A and B are shown apart, each in its own frame.
Chain A
């Protein structure tokens, strides 16, 4: 690495983004730091809106603020059709076939498979000189093969490009945050490779602090009264 950055996440007020402040609870901060030390992904579950997907950006923001560089941050949103390979790389076989066809007109193009490999979010994170923050969002949207197909990539931090026969080995260990809405059961082989944290809905005191940070202009008394009215 070019410079040494203190890789700890504090969630401290000093490092908050003005636009999207994120006030983590102490247990979550600890889980993030453990995940960084053990070089394992952190799996987050919790009610919708509890802040699962925003954490990754907040970590990247803090590391960026502290080191004075734009910290590498990758988002990989998962859909029902997502394939594990998409996040690592895609192979443009059509472009390669087209280039091969150019030969019919006498133009020789170098069609080495390597030239048609495009890295995906996790692939880019593996090749980043800094420990990129990667958000794998809503992993349970995809089918069961998806987490299973990522086991080796997350454990050994390397992946195989079938088309070139080459292995891409991670330069640095990405900080991977995985979120799940608990719609599907994740396989034990996947779970054992992750750290786990469950985000509870914040207690009133913290909720108000979050509101105050996010909407500095709002009168907290009004919010408090409203909360009191809801839960007498």
Chain B
């Protein structure tokens, strides 16, 4: 298949949402987009997945940015191609999710109603108020799911299949053919010929969606599924990257020297805490995540001047706003809350 449009399909994290981009999103009734700072290896993995036309399977600690990547890629592709928005589909997976739901939903009850209505009209010979619907035209009862819509788009839609390991093992297995061959069969639209053979109804993809799949690794994924994916483990960010992430989320474009110092100090305390928590077991061993660091830094900035926040963090026997970082009793008992005036 030839590419219908010479789209620039490059992602390297060089575009971050600015105020005018957020204004566009507000107009399109989308929630504001957060900055996303990928590391170099992740950029390479995205490039590979786009080139190989295979899904990128992402694993890593909770809160390290698995789910946020897809929208960041969609944003950059929109910017690079001069579009307001790049097609993006979000498919959150639940314990009850079935693979077919992402492709299409068949509304059998509507068809039943229309069929019965038609039967009633024939019986009574009367005209009803509603115009008759041809219930034999089965296509109208098929509603596309997120992956189904992505297949029908001529642009390479960015698709996020979020938390695939929440569903049962059948879920990834059921998706194998669709992801591999990029086409799916609609059973309800397939027909049996008079000789008993099946006339199958297939939907072929107009383009190859750029698929991101996230997993918290609560269940093992089947080998047959894994071999079809490009895999990337998002390592926990190193100090420098953490500082950049905090700055991108919470500081303006030109932070003062003190603000930069505060970001560095917050990251230092955060990494210290992470080291200590690593000794715990079970819930007590839950590490603090990047997303919690961002929340924590937001609160520090919200409640204090840079100077006050710096002196708060200087005392290593206390930890301000523990509630944001520590999520069990054992961890809470490690630190006391400092006296603050807020």
Task: Confirm or deny: B278 has a beta carbon within 8 angstroms of a beta carbon on chain A.
Answer: no
Q: Is the CB of B31 within 8 A of A111?
A: no
- In the complex, the chain A residue whose C-beta lies closest to that of B31 is A156
A-side contacts of B116, CB under 8 Å: 100-101, 103-104
Q: Is the CB of A100 within 8 A of B110?
A: yes
Number of interface residues of A (CB under 8 A): 52
Q: Is the CB of A111 within 8 A of B113?
A: yes
Task: Confirm or deny: B109 has a beta carbon within 8 angstroms of a beta carbon on chain A.
Answer: yes
Contact of A191 among B119, B126, B286 (CB under 8 A): B286
Number of interface residues of B (CB under 8 A): 55
- In the complex, the chain A residue whose C-beta lies closest to that of B165 is A148
- In the complex, the chain B residue whose C-beta lies closest to that of A110 is B130
Task: Confirm or deny: A76 has a beta carbon within 8 angstroms of a beta carbon on chain B.
Answer: no
Question: B49 to nearest A CB, angstroms?
Answer: 23
Task: Confirm or deny: A70 has a beta carbon within 8 angstroms of a beta carbon on chain B.
Answer: no
**Total contacts A-B at CB 8 Å:** 130
Question: A155 to nearest B CB, angstroms?
Answer: 9
Pick out which of these stretches binds chain B: A32-40, A60-68, A217-225: A32-40
Pick out which of these stretches binds chain B: A10-18, A50-58, A193-201: A193-201
Given the complex of chains A and B, what is the CA–CA distance between A149 and B295 in angstroms? 22
A-side contacts of B120, CB under 8 Å: 103-106
Given the known A-B contacts A104-B120, A145-B95, are A196 and B289 also in contact in the complex, defined by CB atoms under 8 Å?
Answer: no
Task: Confirm or deny: B321 has a beta carbon within 8 angstroms of a beta carbon on chain A.
Answer: yes
Q: Is the CB of A192 within 8 A of B113?
A: no
Q: Is the CB of B299 within 8 A of A37?
A: yes
Q: Is the CB of A196 within 8 A of B112?
A: no
Question: B288 to nearest A CB, angstroms?
Answer: 8
Task: Confirm or deny: A168 has a beta carbon within 8 angstroms of a beta carbon on chain B.
Answer: no
Task: Confirm or deny: B1 has a beta carbon within 8 angstroms of a beta carbon on chain A.
Answer: no
Pick out which of these stretches binds chain B: A130-138, A181-189, A205-213: A181-189
Q: Is the CB of B283 within 8 A of A106?
A: no
B-side contacts of A31, CB under 8 Å: 323
Q: Is the CB of B163 within 8 A of A148?
A: yes
Pick out which of these stretches binds chain A: B80-88, B266-274, B326-334: B326-334
Given the known A-B contacts A100-B116, A103-B120, A192-B63, are A165 and B283 also in contact in the complex, defined by CB atoms under 8 Å?
Answer: no
Interface string of B107-121 (1 = CB under 8 A from A): 101101110110111
Given the known A-B contacts A101-B116, A104-B120, are A40 and B295 also in contact in the complex, defined by CB atoms under 8 Å?
Answer: yes
Task: Confirm or deny: A160 has a beta carbon within 8 angstroms of a beta carbon on chain B.
Answer: yes
Task: Confirm or deny: B166 has a beta carbon within 8 angstroms of a beta carbon on chain A.
Answer: yes
B-side contacts of A186, CB under 8 Å: 283
Given the complex of chains A and B, what is the CA–CA distance between A165 and B102 in angstroms? 10
Contact of B95 among A101, A149, A169 (CB under 8 A): A149
Interface string of A109-120 (1 = CB under 8 A from B): 101010000000
Q: Is the CB of B107 within 8 A of A113?
A: yes
Interface residues of B in 119-173 (CB under 8 A from A): 119-121, 124, 126, 128-130, 143, 145, 162-163, 166
Task: Confirm or deny: B223 has a beta carbon within 8 angstroms of a beta carbon on chain A.
Answer: no
A-side contacts of B292, CB under 8 Å: 192
Question: A197 to nearest B CB, angstroms?
Answer: 6
A-side contacts of B289, CB under 8 Å: 192
Task: Confirm or deny: A228 has a beta carbon within 8 angstroms of a beta carbon on chain B.
Answer: no
Task: Confirm or deny: A97 has a beta carbon within 8 angstroms of a beta carbon on chain B.
Answer: yes
Question: A170 to nearest B CB, angstroms?
Answer: 10
Given the known A-B contacts A148-B95, A196-B332, are A38 and B129 also in contact in the complex, defined by CB atoms under 8 Å?
Answer: no
Contact of A106 among B105, B128, B291, B337 (CB under 8 A): B128
Interface residues of B in 306-342 (CB under 8 A from A): 321, 323-324, 326-329, 332, 337, 342
Q: Is the CB of B113 within 8 A of A194?
A: no
Given the complex of chains A and B, what is the CA–CA distance between A83 and B295 in angstroms? 29
Given the known A-B contacts A196-B327, A197-B323, are A100 and B113 also in contact in the complex, defined by CB atoms under 8 Å?
Answer: yes
Question: B139 to nearest A CB, angstroms?
Answer: 16
Given the complex of chains A and B, what is the CA–CA distance between A192 and B283 in angstroms? 11
Q: Is the CB of A106 within 8 A of B121?
A: yes
Task: Confirm or deny: B18 has a beta carbon within 8 angstroms of a beta carbon on chain A.
Answer: no
Q: Is the CB of B329 within 8 A of A45?
A: yes
A-side contacts of B105, CB under 8 Å: 162-163, 165
Q: Is the CB of A38 within 8 A of B299?
A: yes
Q: What are 17 A-B contacts defined by CB distance under 8 Å?
A: A30-B323, A34-B323, A37-B299, A43-B327, A100-B109, A103-B114, A104-B119, A108-B128, A113-B107, A152-B162, A185-B282, A189-B216, A191-B327, A192-B289, A196-B323, A196-B326, A198-B329
Q: Known contacts A43-B327, A165-B143; can you find 16 more A-B pairs with CB under 8 A?
A: A27-B323, A30-B323, A37-B302, A104-B117, A108-B117, A108-B129, A111-B110, A113-B107, A145-B166, A149-B96, A160-B92, A165-B145, A169-B29, A185-B282, A189-B216, A192-B291
* Nearest 9 pairs of A and B residues by beta carbon: A100-B113, A145-B95, A103-B117, A106-B120, A103-B116, A189-B62, A104-B116, A31-B323, A191-B327
